[in-house]
Amino acid sequence: MSRHDEMTTFEYDRNGEVEVLQQRTRRMPSPGHDEVLVEVVTAGVNHIDGFIRSGREEAWADVPFPRGSGSDFAGIVVAGDADGRFRRGDEVIGHLRQGAHASHVIAPVGALVRKPPSVSWETAGGLFLAGATALDTLDDLRVGPGDTVVISAAAGGVGSIEAQLAKQRGARVIGTCGERNFDYLRQVGIRPVTYGAGIEERIRELAPDGVTVLIDNFGQDGRALAEALGVPASRYRSSADRRETELSLLQDDPDSVAHATALLARLAHLADEHAFTLLISGYYPLTELASAYDDLQNLHARGKIVLGTHPVTTYRTLKARDVQEARD
Ligand X SMILES: NC(=O)c1ccc[n+]([C@@H]2O[C@H](COP(=O)([O-])OP(=O)(O)OC[C@H]3O[C@@H](n4cnc5c(N)ncnc54)[C@H](OP(=O)(O)O)[C@@H]3O)[C@@H](O)[C@H]2O)c1
User: Which stretches of the chain bind ligand X, using CB under 6 A?
Assistant: 47-48, 152-153, 155-159, 176-178, 180-181, 195, 217-220, 239-240, 242-243, 246, 296, 299-302
Residue 189 CB-half CA count within 13 A? 17
Give least dist CB 298 to ligand X, A. 8
Closest to ligand X by CB, 76 vs 290, is 290
Closest to ligand X by CB, 108 vs 303, is 303
Closest to ligand X by CB, 35 vs 136, is 136
Of 300, 270, 280, 50, residue with least CA distance to 138 = 270
Give least dist CB 190 to ligand X, A. 12
Q: Are 190 and 155 in contact (CB under 8 A)?
A: no
**C-alpha to C-alpha distance for 262 and 266, rounded to whole angstroms:** 6
Give least dist CB 162 to ligand X, A. 9
For residue 3, what are the contacts with CB-CB under 8 A and spacing of at least 6?
Answer: none
Give least dist CB 258 to ligand X, A. 23
Give the residue at shortest CB distance from ligand X.
Answer: 156
Give least dist CB 327 to ligand X, A. 15
Closest to ligand X by CB, 47 vs 191, is 47
Closest to ligand X by CB, 8 vs 248, is 248
Query: φ and ψ at 267, to 5 degrees?
Result: -65, -45
Give least dist CB 283 to ligand X, A. 14
Q: Are 40 and 77 in contact (CB under 8 A)?
A: no
Closest to ligand X by CB, 201 vs 209, is 201
Q: Are 35 and 107 in contact (CB under 8 A)?
A: yes
Of 68, 67, 80, residue with least CA distance to 39 = 80
Size (the chain), residues: 328
Q: Are 296 and 156 in contact (CB under 8 A)?
A: no
For residue 117, what are the contacts with CB-CB under 8 A and spacing of at least 6?
Answer: 91
CA 258 to chain centre: 18
Closest to ligand X by CB, 108 vs 159, is 159
Give least dist CB 189 to ligand X, A. 17
Closest to ligand X by CB, 86 vs 128, is 128
Per DSSP bridges, beta strands 6-12 and 67-68 are antiparallel
Exposed, middle or buried: residue 248 (CB in 10 Å: 0-12, 13-18, 19+)? Answer: middle
Give least dist CB 154 to ligand X, A. 7
